[in-house]
């Protein structure tokens, strides 16, 4: 029952934009990450970080230059302002579980949990690895308590200083376990919700997680033989320690999103949640209604711009991509519009020193984006 982690297709360039809700290819310069799937991306206001991944095509995966074929034991950073990729040379022990791991950004620290190496399902992880992106150093987080099983395909989020991990698979069995790691005390606890077993979410992997501070929402996922629909969403209530089943409302013309696993999900603040394989929005603060959009897969940065990277483009030929796309999910602020134009007309800004940039009138925040 072992199976390689898969991702849904990332689609090619869309038609010419007619509104602000369009996906644009990002024409990056210099060396870029090779095509891959099963990787993880996170973003802040300045950078997109890409970790790990998998590509069974020897030439596409880097050939003899990739010592970890068919996996990618590497960390990449894409800077939004300078439009450049950079493979980070890091110190310390980088994990070897490089496919279908979980990744979150906490301040300057990337937290990596679980995942699988080769062969899939027989070399899983259950440690928390931390990479400080400022100092480019990896460390193993020393934790107390009973750790989750060695799994991959789980979902993870940080809420109020705690790391929550739900679901996943060993490669043989699928999980409904919910674990919490207090990042202050570094103690693992397996949560025991006050529900009958029949009221629990179905066992699953390659789902996505979102939260509003009170509830954790589990979106999609499945097993090797099924994918779960989005006509209802399971939510864990942090205050009552119970699972709730929330019925959603269909789009008036096209109904519910199709069942899915191996998709991506981004969240705008605590309201709209975008479970993306072909571009849907679920507004959990507006009567739980679905709205249909165009096709995309993505990760979000702080200004409300979604970035798409990698994935499988042809499941039958097992072909992957390393393309990068962007899509504004909100109307850009005047600051963001001016910033993009400034970078377009003065690309040499990144070569100036901090004092020079400040002297030109740039704010400290904008200088940080360049540096």
Give the pLDDT confidence of 280-317 residue by residue, as tens digits. Answer: 666 665 445 555 443 333 456 667 888 888 988 888 88
In this predicted structure, what is the pLDDT of residue 331? 87
In this predicted structure, what is the pLDDT of residue 305? 87
Helices (H) and strands (E) in the chain, counts: 3, 26
Q: Is the Cβ–Cβ distance between 131 and 109 less than 8 Å?
A: yes
pTM over 0.85: yes
In this predicted structure, what is the pLDDT of residue 144? 97
In this predicted structure, what is the pLDDT of residue 160? 95
Indicate if the pLDDT at residue 4 is higher than 80. Answer: no
More confident site: 7 or 97: 97
Stated as kind and residue range, the H or E segment containing 358 is: helix 354-359
Residue 269, Cβ neighbours under 10 Å: how many? 9
The HSE-up count of residue 185 (CA atoms within 13 Å, CB side) is 9
In this predicted structure, what is the pLDDT of residue 232? 93
In this predicted structure, what is the pLDDT of residue 8? 35
Indicate if the pLDDT at residue 35 is higher than 70. Answer: yes
Domains of the chain, residue spans: 31-211+296-330, 333-371
Distance of CA 4 to the CA centre of its chain: 18
Q: How confident is the model at residue 34 (pLDDT cuts 50, 70, 90)?
A: very high
| Fold adopted by 31-211+296-330 | Neuraminidase (2.120.10)
Q: How confident is the model at residue 49 (pLDDT cuts 50, 70, 90)?
A: very high
| Residue position matching structure tokens 């009567």 | 287
More confident site: 257 or 300: 257
In this predicted structure, what is the pLDDT of residue 12? 30
In this predicted structure, what is the pLDDT of residue 199? 85
pLDDT digits (tens, 9 = 90+) for 105-164: 999 999 999 999 999 999 999 999 999 999 999 999 999 999 999 999 999 999 999 999
Mean of the pLDDT values across residues 210-214?
91
The rounded distance, in Å, linking the Cα atoms of 202 and 198 is 9
Q: How confident is the model at residue 349 (pLDDT cuts 50, 70, 90)?
A: very high
pLDDT digits (tens, 9 = 90+) for 61-117: 989 999 999 999 999 999 999 999 999 999 999 999 999 999 999 999 999 999 999
Cβ-based neighbours of 306, under 8 Å, separated by 6 or more: 266, 274, 296, 298, 299, 300, 326, 327, 328, 329
Indicate if the pLDDT at residue 209 is higher than 90. Answer: yes
The rounded distance, in Å, linking the Cα atoms of 98 and 116 is 6
In this predicted structure, what is the pLDDT of residue 264? 84
Residue 171, Cβ neighbours under 10 Å: how many? 21
Q: Return the DSSP state at 129.
A: E
Residue 266, Cβ neighbours under 10 Å: how many? 22
Mean of the pLDDT values across residues 204-224?
94
Dihedral of the CA atoms 150, 72, 154, 191 (nearest 10)?
Answer: 50
In this predicted structure, what is the pLDDT of residue 363? 95
In this predicted structure, what is the pLDDT of residue 303? 79
Write the CA distances from 14 to 209, 230, 282, 326, integer angstroms. Answer: 27, 26, 23, 11
Cβ-based neighbours of 274, under 8 Å, separated by 6 or more: 265, 266, 267, 268, 280, 281, 282, 298, 306, 329
């Amino acid at each position: 029952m072992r199976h390689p982690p898969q991702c849904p297709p990332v689609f090619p360039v869309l038609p010419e934009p007619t509104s602000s809700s369009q996906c644009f290819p990002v024409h990056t310069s210099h060396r870029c990450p090779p095509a891959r799937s099963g990787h993880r991306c996170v973003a802040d206001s300045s950078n997109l970080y890409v970790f790990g991944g998998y590509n069974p095509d020897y030439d596409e995966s880097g050939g003899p230059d990739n010592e970890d074929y068919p996996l990618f034991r590497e960390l990449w950073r894409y800077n939004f302002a300078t439009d450049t990729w950079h493979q980070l040379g890091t110190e310390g022990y980088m994990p070897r579980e490089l496919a279908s791991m979980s990744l979150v950004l906490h301040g300057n620290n990337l937290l990596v949990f679980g995942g699988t190496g080769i062969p899939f399902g027989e070399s899983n992880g259950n440690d928390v690895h931390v990479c400080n992106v400022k100092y480019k150093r990896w460390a193993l987080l020393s934790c107390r308590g009973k750790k989750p099983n060695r799994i991959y395909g789980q979902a993870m989020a940080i809420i109020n200083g705690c790391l929550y991990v739900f679901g996943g698979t060993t490669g043989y069995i699928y999980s409904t376990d919910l674990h919490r790691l207090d990042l202050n005390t570094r103690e693992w606890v397996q949560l025991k919700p006050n529900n009958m077993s029949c009221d629990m979410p179905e066992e699953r992997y390659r789902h996505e997680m979102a939260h509003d501070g009170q509830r954790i929402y589990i979106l999609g996922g499945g097993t090797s033989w099924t994918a779960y629909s989005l006509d209802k969403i399971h939510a864990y209530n942090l205050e009552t320690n119970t699972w709730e089943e929330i019925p959603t409302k269909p789009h008036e013309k096209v109904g519910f999103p199709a069942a899915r696993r191996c998709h991506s999900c981004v969240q705008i603040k605590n309201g709209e949640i975008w479970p993306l394989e072909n571009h849907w929005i679920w507004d959990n603060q507006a009567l739980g209604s679905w709205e249909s959009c165009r096709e995309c897969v993505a990760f979000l940065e702080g200004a409300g711009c979604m970035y798409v990277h990698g994935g499988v483009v042809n499941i039958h030929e097992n072909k992957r991509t390393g393309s990068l796309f962007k899509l504004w999910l909100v109307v850009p602020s005047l600051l963001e519009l001016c910033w993009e134009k400034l970078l377009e007309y003065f690309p040499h800004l990144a070569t100036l020193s901090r004092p020079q940039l400040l002297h030109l009138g740039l704010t400290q925040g904008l200088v940080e984006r360049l540096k």
